[in-house]
Amino acid sequence: MRAPSLSTDARVLTLVQFYETLQPASVGRIRALYSAQAHFKDPFNDVRGHAAIERIFAHMFEQVASPRFEVDSAACEGDTAFLAWTMRFSTKGRPGREEQIRGCTALRFDAEGRVQWHRDYWDAAEELYEKVPLLGALMRALRRRLTAGR
């Protein structure tokens, strides 16, 4: 966590601490931080409720080795907050080679200060698909072809 650009809102600080220390054993803390019918959406998931959100994070720990989040900045205005983050991990087929995904999260809190809406934004094509051997070559070629000025 980089303190100079981090919100001082207690709700945000609690979430940042949760995500930066997230481990398989702590996934259940979502029940204290998210409302019972919280809506979570990212490029691959669109779910509601504690159990579904917990499954997303449990699945992450099954799919990649040593995932960890670093929150680079955070801002909060009223019941809305934004986090900019980097997720670092190793793929299970390539231990020791660190990958990263950069993204941001938009959050909305309920009256009790729990997350009721969580939306992750990140570029799956650049951050993930381009790193897959055959698919990556196709995605990089497509990106080059669509880049302005070429």
Q: What is the pLDDT along the chain (150 residues), one digit of tens a residue?
A: 444 456 789 999 999 999 999 999 999 999 999 999 999 999 989 999 999 999 999 999 998 899 999 999 999 999 999 999 999 988 877 667 888 999 999 999 999 999 999 999 988 766 554 555 565 565 556 556 656 665
Vertex 50 angle, CA 122 and 80, to 5°: 50
Q: What's the Cα-to-Cα distance from 78 to each of 7, 11, 108, 110, rounded to whole Å?
A: 12, 11, 9, 11
Q: Are 94 and 76 in contact (CB under 8 A)?
A: no
Query: What structural domains and CATH numbers belong to the chain?
Result: 3-122 (3.10.450.50)
Give the chain's length.
Answer: 150
Enter the pTM of the model: 0.80
Q: Phi-psi category of 149—alpha, beta or left, where left has phi over 0 and alpha has psi -120 to 50?
A: left
